Amino acid sequence: MTRNDKKYEVDPYLYVLLAFTFAITLPGLYLGLFKIHVSPVLGSMVFGVAIFGAAFILSWAAEAIQVDISESLAVAILALLAVLPEYAVDFVFTWKSAHDPQQAHYAIANMTGANRLLVGLGWPFVLFLYVLFKKKKAVVLHSSQRVEIFYLAAATIYSFTIPLKGSLTLIDTAILVSLFGLYTRRMAQMHSEEPEMVGPPRIVVNLPTARRRLVTYLFFAFSGIVIFFVTEPFAESLVAMGARIGVNEFLLVQWLAPIASESPEFIVAAVWTIRGAASSAMKALISSKVNQWTLLIGTIPLVYAISGRAVKPFVLDSLQQHELILTAAQSLFAVAVLVNLKLDRRDGLLLLVLFTAQLVIEQIRLEVAIAYLVLAVVFLILHRRSLLPAARYGLGIRGK
């Protein structure tokens, strides 16, 4: 049921901005859709600009749709669309791994790299932008964001079982995809006030109800199509550039490709943070983490089974197990940090320093995983009064 009863003044330049943003995505979409090969440098530029434009369109759609659905569900949809490139890249590696075992390393490397990048770089990025532009000491989350934190905690606790048993199976698919379904259902139940529209979303929300919804859905669809077809060649262009200067291929797949595939949500988060909506920016990044840590990792054994035309486990070697343990440990620390609904400069610095340490010095990744786990225990003790409210809110149980 729509809540929209407000009409906004629309400056003519907003129409120009809207048309320009759509226009800059078209060259990259054309090249990506028809798989036209270009040089790595040109590809990085053209595809990067297309992703930049699509990210803005996606953020505008997520704002406009909040007059019809809850902000939480709108941001969850945005997060899912924004990480489509990550799904596309990882599914390619997983599909190939059924016939080429070497590709399995890349599938896990890409997935774990993307997850750690979101938390270790994305969350501090939002915090420090907020500190810089709004002179605040911390990002304070809304109580409704306990939902994301609860389901991230549930997925994280379960994720520790995967490296322990040494494989991903269709049982993991059923559990993790079910967690994602419960999360989405809970988000749909959330209520929120209609936000104050800024920029091109004003054009959309001024339209009659049926036309507004159609235009909003078209914005979502167009940005999703651009992101889907453009990000993989963008990642390939970046990897090709890295390979030319002698960067290790595994590191390229684990870090450079995820930077490309995660760029839409980073851009959206940056735009919202600079405008003062750091809580919404964090909501988008946390939601992205939830769907990657449930839906993405959960569908790996499904894609693997379909490609191999056989029901068999996706077996993990020792390196892949260590990567998953490190990623799960970071995720647990992230939950412990945010369970009190606040991310301050100390928290952001810890996340960034530990992420940078394991990125720069590969040999200490086990030690960093232990540090994450120890800090998670410390923070959970410090924030113990917030644990029960998070569980109640996540499950939709009314407290006193």
Given CATH 1.20.1420.30, say whether it is the number of domain 12-395. yes
Q: How far apart are CA 336 and CA 54, in angstroms?
A: 33
pLDDT tens for residues 294-345?
A: 988 999 999 999 998 989 999 998 989 999 999 999 999 999 999 999 999 9
Q: What is the DSSP track for 301-357?
A: HHHHHHHHTS---EE--HHHHHHHHHHHHHHHHHHHHHTTSEEEHHHHHHHHHHHHH
Q: How far apart are CA 253 and CA 138, in angstroms?
A: 33
pLDDT band at 161 (very low <50, low <70, confident <90, very high): very high
Q: How far apart are CA 10 and CA 19, in angstroms?
A: 14
pLDDT of res. 243: 74
pLDDT band at 58 (very low <50, low <70, confident <90, very high): confident
pLDDT band at 192 (very low <50, low <70, confident <90, very high): low
Q: What is the mean pLDDT of residues 33-57?
A: 87
pLDDT tens for residues 267-281?
A: 778 888 988 889 888
Strand partners, 314: 168
Residues 6 or more apart whose Cβ sits within 8 Å of residue 57: 21, 22, 25, 219, 222, 223, 226
Residues 6 or more apart whose Cβ sits within 8 Å of residue 129: 270, 273, 274, 278
DSSP single-letter state for residue 65: G
276 Ramachandran zone, left/alpha/beta (phi>0; psi -120 to 50): left
Q: How far apart are the first and last CA of the chain?
A: 29
Q: What is the mean pLDDT of residues 352-368?
A: 92
Q: How far is CA 263 from CA 67, 149, 171, 267, 389, in A?
A: 27, 22, 31, 6, 33
Write out the two tokens for 27: 């060259």
pLDDT of res. 254: 78
Q: What is the DSSP track for 139-154?
A: EEPPGGGHHHHHHHHH
- CA 58: distance to chain centroid? 13
Q: How far apart are CA 59 and CA 341, in angstroms?
A: 23
pLDDT band at 27 (very low <50, low <70, confident <90, very high): very high
DSSP single-letter state for residue 364: G
- Residue type, position 86, single letter: E
CB 58 within 8 A of CB 254: no
Residues counted in the chain: 400
pLDDT tens for residues 225-254?
A: 998 888 778 877 877 777 777 776 677 777
